[in-house]
A = this chain, B = another copy of it.
Amino acid sequence: MDEFSFIKWIRSNQKKDRNIVIGIGDDCASIKINGNKQCLVTTDMLVDGTHFDLKKNTPGEIGKKSMACSISDIAAMGCSAKYAVVSICFPQETRTKFAKELFLGMKREADAYNIKIIGGDVVSGKKMLVVNVTMYGENKGLNPVTRSGAKVDDVIMVTGALGGSILKKHFAFKPRLKEGQLLNKKFNINSMIDISDGLVADLNHILEESGIGAVLYEDGVPVSADAKKLARKTGFSALHHALHDGEDYELLFTLSGKESKKLLASSSFPVRLSKIGHIKRSKGISMQGSNGKLKKIKPVGYKHFK
């Protein structure tokens, strides 16, 4: 099957949508935009050996993850995800079955969040599988929540539990799309990011953008069962894994003390929430131990280049 047949097969998987004026198969896709809206855009590239391992992961898992990472970025803005365009570079020896399973992994994840794949590009490369997803979202009258709005004395909170994602979660995570929108709609969230580089590294992105610092509470960080499991193998503490492992894809956000109380009092929030620290005026990140003492921590996380 050449790429044109593959694209035809992909098109045969599509449903009509009245806002998609031009869908897969032309030089561009076109979506209809009404009213005074913002269009959110994010793009994520996943590469064999870095974000997945062809020896370990199924094509369906890789497809799912590529879509979920971009959904998570829209979630981190507190907005709605709507459309995606995807590019795939298949190694030359790729079988049709593999290609289809990869796409179906993308499509199942997109479908689960009611996102339409409206276009893309399929190419071949010498060896390496590469997948790129660009996703579009809408603000639906809300202000997207940026990384730069954190304020002094804000409470720092996080969804779910952290660390050890490499054992399973980095392919099985559920992007917090509903939760991000709920936070943005019902509460005054000052800043938000999804945790892909690691809690401390991503918190540092917020701090740098907002020009401030933070204190984390050692007892407040929600340590996952997999962080504990991994700690038994690595010799690092489970807390270390919760602080520095990447790819948890939980939401990390800051809001006023008053808003955080309102949030914690609302019984309907669909996932676990933890208060893990607060924003301070002076730069840098400190960890407050159970004894109350402060210790500086460095914002290290996964880096693609050294």
Contact = CB atoms under 8 A, between A and B. Distances in A.
Per assembly, the copies of the chain total: 2
Given A27-B193, A123-B51, A87 B45 contact: yes
A33 B30 contact: no
Interface residues of A, number: 77
Contacts of A6: 305
Contact of A130 (B44, B128, B147, B305): B128
Contacts of A94: 305
B87 A132 contact: yes
Interface in A263-302: none
A125 B128 contact: yes
A119 B29 contact: no
Nearest to A41: B29
A181 interface: no
Contact of A120 (B43, B77, B193): B43
Contact of A3 (B74, B122, B148, B303): B303
Contacts of A192: 27
A45 B76 contact: no
Contacts of A1: 305
Contact of A42 (B43, B79, B119, B125): B119
Contacts of A193: 27
Nearest to A19: B38
Interface string A64-91: 0000000001101101000101111110
Contacts of A121: 43-45, 132
Contacts of A127: 127-128
A128 B89 CA distance: 11
A37 B41 contact: no
A40 interface: yes
A47 B148 contact: no
Contacts of A111: none
Nearest to A99: B305
A220 interface: no
| Leading 5 A-B pairs by shortest Cβ distance | A45-B87, A124-B304, A47-B125, A134-B134, A27-B76
Interface of A: 1-4, 6, 21-22, 25-51, 73-74, 76-77, 79, 83, 85-90, 92, 94, 118-128, 130, 132, 134, 136-137, 139, 144, 146-148, 192-194, 209, 303-306
Given A50-B123, A85-B134, A124-B304, 12 more contacts: A2-B303, A22-B40, A22-B144, A26-B209, A30-B41, A30-B139, A43-B121, A47-B126, A50-B124, A50-B126, A90-B304, A124-B305
